[in-house]
């Protein structure tokens, strides 16, 4: 009978089996994770690389010399000193290290490698060898570079946005800001990030902080805040500010995003406009007062002159010769002209001012009413070419506009049987009224001047006029938000005045 001695062999110790299994598990884990490892004997210069590490370097195992000097020649020249310094620091400190660097493959291409590890020391404390892991870091480095480029691009955009931007917490601390904001404070970005607003803006910090907290606590933005800008080291001015709430989705912390636009120049312009408006109002008051006083003070002696001519005529009685009578009539005509001029001056000074509230007015009625105010027309005709709308406008300016236009057309016409046409059209943006006559026309060279005060195209001996009527038309039309123009062609009879009043204008 043959005895089976294999059953008599003792089983391997359990601890040995556990170690084998652990080593096998570690080997499998490294292989599955595509992680290699290395060991460098500092005394001999021998370096060991696992198959995975060699595969990363694309080095056949049979051709690998296991010499540290050969590995050094593969490290990118720009990275060699960094790798050397990192290894020496780890040896001196006896701490774990990790570094990324470029290393060359046989095809002369470089890839990024990550190595990590720590030294092992002898009993006397000297470093005997080092070892650790090896990972292909090309994808990781590429992602880091892309992320860095994206961060750089966002920073460039952030710094070049035409506004000052701060990111602040509830304690009034500036977490982030853009370059424009830092420049407005005459400080570098790094000096401001992490700083307290109470230190940088002592005059306005309390107000800024109260607004910040209102936004943070309510979650509702504050927009269009016009406020002083008073950095302790920068120029003071004015800003228009929007404050927007922001909650960190990871931590739940609440912040406020502050976006400010410099409106200092705008505020200066506004101040100048207000100042000039005050001066203009005072000048207008002075002008009104002057016009009123001039009209009142000059009318009294004019009335006296008119009465005096009457007395002279009465005193002369039968001795009044035709020549004296003609001269007295001429003098009284000049007095009447002066009186008309004074009245028109006063009307012009008041035109467009103290306009009454708008009311619903049937323009058909206004045209008929104004036509009735004119002197007897005789053979002269005023024709309405269309129906007219009902407008919500102040009555008096409308009456004066059409009265002066009709009077001007009749007064300057060269025929007793002339015609004036009045019509209306509605355009996209305006109510268009026109007053067109078939008179002698206005030369194009003079059309730009017909609305100037006291500007006349004919002598007063030919046409009795103050030269103010069309100036009043222009002034009152513009006071209603409208405009007026004149159309007349050289060599053709007829003149048309167009009045444009805006649709939907609130007067």
Which residue would you say has higher pLDDT here, 79 or 357? 79
| pLDDT value at residue 195 | 94
Poorest-pLDDT segment among 31-40, 187-196, 447-456, 485-494: 447-456
For residue range 144-155, what is the model confidence (pLDDT) as tens digits?
989 889 888 888
Instruction: Say whether pLDDT at 97 is over 70.
Output: yes
Task: Place 33 in a pLDDT band, splitting at 50, 70 and 90.
Answer: low
Judgement on whether residues 385 and 495 belong to the same structural domain of the protein: yes
Judgement on whether residues 332 and 367 belong to the same structural domain of the protein: no
Number of domains in the chain: 4
Poorest-pLDDT segment among 7-21, 118-132, 273-287: 7-21
Contacts of 431 by beta carbon, 8 Å cutoff, 6+ apart: 389, 391, 424, 500, 501, 502, 503
State the average pLDDT over residues 107-126: 89
Judgement on whether residues 329 and 360 belong to the same structural domain of the protein: no
145 found inside a domain: no
Instruction: Say whether pLDDT at 465 is over 50.
Output: no
Q: How many residues are there in the chain? A: 507
| pLDDT value at residue 117 | 92
State the average pLDDT over residues 445-464: 60
Which residue would you say has higher pLDDT here, 319 or 61? 61
| pLDDT value at residue 172 | 93
Q: Quick one: what percent of the chain has pLDDT higher than 70?
A: 82
Q: Residue 32, Cα to own-chain centre: how many angstroms?
A: 58
Domain boundary among 136, 152, 172: 136
Residue among 56, 19, 20, 21 nearest 35 (CA): 56
151 found inside a domain: no
Which residue would you say has higher pLDDT here, 287 or 245? 245
Judgement on whether residues 322 and 253 belong to the same structural domain of the protein: no
262-267 — which CB contacts under 8 Å span 24+ positions?
A: 262/164, 262/184, 262/229, 262/237, 262/238, 263/226, 263/237, 263/238, 263/239, 264/229, 264/237, 264/238, 264/239, 266/238, 267/237, 267/238
Contacts of 255 by beta carbon, 8 Å cutoff, 6+ apart: 167, 168, 169, 170, 175, 216, 245, 246, 247, 248
Joined together, the tokens standing for residue 292 give: 């009123």
Contacts of 201 by beta carbon, 8 Å cutoff, 6+ apart: 208, 230, 231, 232
| pLDDT value at residue 456 | 53
| pLDDT value at residue 290 | 64
The structure's pTM equals 0.47
Q: Which structural domain, as residue segments, surrounds residue 47?
A: 11-136
Tell me the CA distances in angstroms from 102 to 77, 78, 115, one per residue in order: 9, 9, 11
| pLDDT value at residue 285 | 74
Which residue would you say has higher pLDDT here, 462 or 111? 111
What is the rounded distance in angstroms from the CA atom of residue 178 to the CA atom of residue 160? Answer: 8
25 found inside a domain: yes
Residue among 245, 253, 239, 244 nearest 181 (CA): 239
Judgement on whether residues 367 and 464 belong to the same structural domain of the protein: yes
Give me the chain's average pLDDT, please.
83
Please report where in the chains the tokens 């005895």 appear, as a residue: 3
Start-to-end CA distance of the chain, whole Å, equals: 131
Judgement on whether residues 240 and 204 belong to the same structural domain of the protein: yes
Instruction: Say whether pLDDT at 134 is over 60.
Output: yes
| pLDDT value at residue 463 | 43
Judgement on whether residues 253 and 275 belong to the same structural domain of the protein: no
Judgement on whether residues 231 and 332 belong to the same structural domain of the protein: no
What is the rounded distance in angstroms from the CA atom of residue 95 to the CA atom of residue 116? Answer: 11
Judgement on whether residues 239 and 304 belong to the same structural domain of the protein: no
Domain boundary among 246, 262, 278: 262
Poorest-pLDDT segment among 219-223, 381-385, 478-482: 478-482
Instruction: Say whether pLDDT at 1 is over 50.
Output: no
What is the rounded distance in angstroms from the CA atom of residue 464 to the CA atom of residue 411? Answer: 8
Poorest-pLDDT segment among 53-62, 78-87, 257-266, 483-492: 483-492
Which residue would you say has higher pLDDT here, 32 or 413? 413
Tell me the CA distances in angstroms from 493 to 363, 414, 438, 442, 464, one per residue in order: 28, 11, 6, 9, 22
| pLDDT value at residue 386 | 92
| pLDDT value at residue 5 | 47
154 found inside a domain: no
Task: Place 26 in a pLDDT band, splitting at 50, 70 and 90.
Answer: low
Judgement on whether residues 498 and 360 belong to the same structural domain of the protein: yes
Say how many C-beta atoms besides its own lie within 10 A of residue 460's C-beta.
14
State the average pLDDT over residues 181-192: 94
Instruction: Say whether pLDDT at 30 is over 90.
Output: no
Instruction: Say whether pLDDT at 2 is over 50.
Output: no
Task: Place 210 in a pLDDT band, splitting at 50, 70 and 90.
Answer: very high
Any idea what the CATH number is for the domain that residue 377 is in? 3.30.565.10
241 found inside a domain: yes
Judgement on whether residues 176 and 191 belong to the same structural domain of the protein: yes
Assess contact for 422 and 382: CB atoms under 8 A.
Answer: yes
| pLDDT value at residue 474 | 87
Poorest-pLDDT segment among 106-110, 112-116, 421-425, 475-479: 475-479
122 found inside a domain: yes
What is the rounded distance in angstroms from the CA atom of residue 301 to the CA atom of residue 13? Answer: 141
What is the rounded distance in angstroms from the CA atom of residue 407 to the CA atom of residue 486? Answer: 16
Any idea what the CATH number is for the domain that residue 218 is in? 3.30.450.20
Judgement on whether residues 314 and 371 belong to the same structural domain of the protein: no
For residue range 295-346, what is the model confidence (pLDDT) as tens digits?
666 666 767 777 777 788 777 777 778 888 888 777 776 666 566 656 655 6
143 found inside a domain: no
Contacts of 455 by beta carbon, 8 Å cutoff, 6+ apart: 449, 467, 471
Domain boundary among 349, 377, 403: 349
301 found inside a domain: yes
**Nearest 5 degrees, angle CA 37-CA 40-CA 41?**
145
State the average pLDDT over residues 287-293: 66
| pLDDT value at residue 507 | 45
Which residue would you say has higher pLDDT here, 300 or 210? 210
């Amino acid at each position: 009978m043959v005895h089976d001695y294999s059953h008599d062999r003792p089983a391997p110790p359990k601890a040995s089996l556990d170690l084998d299994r652990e080593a096998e598990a570690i080997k499998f884990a490294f292989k599955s994770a595509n992680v290699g490892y290395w060991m460098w004997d500092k005394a001999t210069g021998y370096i060991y690389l696992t198959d995975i590490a060699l595969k990363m370097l694309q080095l056949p195992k049979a051709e690998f010399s296991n010499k540290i000097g050969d590995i050094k020649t593969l490290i990118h020249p720009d990275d060699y000193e960094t790798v050397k310094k990192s290894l020496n620091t780890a040896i001196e400190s006896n701490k774990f290290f990790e570094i990324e660097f470029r290393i060359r493959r046989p095809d002369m291409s470089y890839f990024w490698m990550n190595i990590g590890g720590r030294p092992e020391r002898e009993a006397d404390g000297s470093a005997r060898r080092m070892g650790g892991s090896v990972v292909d870091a090309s994808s990781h480095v590429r992602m880091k570079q892309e992320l860095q480029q994206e961060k750089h691009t966002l920073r460039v955009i952030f710094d070049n946005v035409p506004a000052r931007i701060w990111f602040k917490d509830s304690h009034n601390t500036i977490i982030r800001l853009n370059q424009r904001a830092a420049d407005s404070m005459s400080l570098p970005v790094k000096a401001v990030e992490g700083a307290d607003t109470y230190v940088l803006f002592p005059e306005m910090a309390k107000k800024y902080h109260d607004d910040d907290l209102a936004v943070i606590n309510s979650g509702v933005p504050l927009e269009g805040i016009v406020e002083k800008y008073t950095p302790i080291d920068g120029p003071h001015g004015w800003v228009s500010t929007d404050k927007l709430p922001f909650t960190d989705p990871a931590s739940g912390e609440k912040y406020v995003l502050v976006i400010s636009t410099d409106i200092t120049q705008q505020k200066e312009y506004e101040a100048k406009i207000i100042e000039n408006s005050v001066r203009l109002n005072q000048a207008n008051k002075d002008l009104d007062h002057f016009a009123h006083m001039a009209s009142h003070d000059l009318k009294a002696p004019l009335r006296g002159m008119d009465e005096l001519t009457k007395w002279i005529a009465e005193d002369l009685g039968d001795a009044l010769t035709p020549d004296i009578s003609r001269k007295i009539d001429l003098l009284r005509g000049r007095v009447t002209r002066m009186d008309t001029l004074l009245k028109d001056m006063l009307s012009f000074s008041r035109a467009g001012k103290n306009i009454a509230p708008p009311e619903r007015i049937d323009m058909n009625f206004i045209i008929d009413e104004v036509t009735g105010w004119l002197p007897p027309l005789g053979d002269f005709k005023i024709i309405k070419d269309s129906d007219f709308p009902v407008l919500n406008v102040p009555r008096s300016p409308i009456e004066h506009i059409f009265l002066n236009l009709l009077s001007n057309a009749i007064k300057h016409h060269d025929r007793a049987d002339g015609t004036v046409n009045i019509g209306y059209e509605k355009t996209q943006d305006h109510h268009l009224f026109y007053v067109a006559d078939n008179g002698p026309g206005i030369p194009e060279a003079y059309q730009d001047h017909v609305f100037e005060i006291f500007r006349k195209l004919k002598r007063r001996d030919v046409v009795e006029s103050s030269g103010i009527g069309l100036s009043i038309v222009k002034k009152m039309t513009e006071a209603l938000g409208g405009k007026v123009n004149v159309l007349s062609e050289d060599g053709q009879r007829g003149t048309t005045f167009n009045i444009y009043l805006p649709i939907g204008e609130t007067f």
